[in-house]
Amino acid sequence: MKTALIGLGNILLKDEGVGVHAVNTMRERYLFSPEVKVIDGGTLGLDLLPFFEGKENVLIIDAVDFRKEPGHIGMLEDDAIPSALFSKLSVHHIGLSDVLFAAKLKDLTPAKLCLIGIQPQSLEVGLEMTECIRDRIEELIARAIKKLEEWNIECALRSPQRLSV
């Protein structure tokens, strides 16, 4: 498998779990090329490193502090990613920074690395995302699909019906 699609976040902290919710929805909704591994990365931190090994492309979806209004969706690629993680939302961001650093040290950095994030509204304890984030998750998923397609990854809808998140 040459591509990893990784959703990060803690689903117990409202919007913090948006990356996990997004990739799980994508897994239900789409059939991906066989070279794609879809990963619920949760809060694995350094345990994510093996998912970088041997990959040409890694796409990460997460809640990111862009210092923008809640619901803002942004995309960072390659060397721009670690610099955006200095402002931590939760402890798993420390792990992601460490994973990216370790991947570089071990020469495991994929040729293409992309982080698509959304500015969270609430990180309070709770299983439900805020309405603001729920209203934007379709756009977040669409941007991730577009990036995969730019990488020549086939993403076919399983069915035309819309699944709820």
Report strand pairing: 155-157 vs 30-32: antiparallel
* Per-residue pLDDT at 127: 95
The top-level CATH class assigned to 3-157 is: alpha beta
- One digit per residue, pLDDT tens: the chain, 165 residues? 799 999 999 999 999 999 999 999 999 999 999 999 999 999 888 889 999 999 999 999 999 988 999 999 999 999 888 655 555 555 555 567 777 888 888 888 899 999 999 999 999 999 999 999 999 999 999 999 999 999 999 999 997 655 555
* Per-residue pLDDT at 38: 97
Is-contact 55 4, C-beta < 8 A? yes
State the number of CA atoms in the 13 A half-sphere of 63 facing the CB. Answer: 30
Residue 138 C-alpha from the chain's centroid: 14
9-43 in b/e form (b: 16+ CB < 10 A) is: bbbebbbbbbbbbbbbbbbebbebeeebebbbbbb
Indicate the domain borders of the chain: 3-157
- The sign of the CA dihedral 91, 92, 96, 102 is positive
List, in order, residues 6 or more apart from 161 with CB less than 8 Å away: none
The DSSP secondary-structure symbol of 159 reads -
Token duo for residue 124: 């309070």
Angle, CA of 11, 16 and 101, to the nearest 5°:
110
Q: Provide the 10 A C-beta neighbour count for residue 96.
A: 25
d(CA 29, CA 41): 18
* Per-residue pLDDT at 90: 57
Report strand pairing: 112-118 vs 3-8: unpaired
* Per-residue pLDDT at 104: 85
Q: Please state the pTM of the whole predicted model.
A: 0.88
